[in-house]
Amino acid sequence: MRGAKNAYDPRFGGPTAPLATAIRMSDITVWIIVIAFYAPLHYLLPVLFLFITGKESETVRKRLIRSAVIDASLSMVAAFVVAIVLVQLGWIGAAMLVLLASMLLPFARILRHRKEITSGA
């Protein structure tokens, strides 16, 4: 077997085309699983926080929830763009930290602007 090329040996050019396609598919599957678990936490934690700590009227609470969902959407998209780039560079740990840190961004606006939003209603 000395002359046989090993598809996993980097000296022989790395994986073959069908294997590379399989690797990309598993990466897509992993990202779908990450999004499936990450998105509910990213959206529901700020909304739950608003329900637990809020003493506002219903109309003000709806406005706060709407802004929290918008903030969560924007921070989630930005976090996934940065995380995907970091994973491509091989910095998986940093990518996970970016995803975790981005979960705090919707809370920043809630806490910073809560008095301003509630006093305007």
What mean pLDDT do residues 3-16 have?
Answer: 51
Average pLDDT, the chain: 75
pLDDT per position as a tens digit, 16-54: 544 444 445 467 777 787 888 888 888 888 888 888 877
Percent of the chain at pLDDT > 90 equals: 5
What mean pLDDT do residues 93-100 have?
Answer: 88
Virtual CA dihedral for 6, 11, 16, 21, nearest 10 degrees? Answer: 120
Number of helices (H), then strands (E), belonging to the chain: the values are 4, 0
50 to each of 16, 40, 53, 92, how far by Cα in Å?
A: 51, 15, 5, 32
The count of residues in the chain is 121
pLDDT surpassing 60 at residue 94:
yes
109 touches 73 (CB < 8 A): no
Domain locations in the chain as residue ranges: 30-119
pLDDT of amino acid 78? 92
What mean pLDDT do residues 61-82 have?
Answer: 88
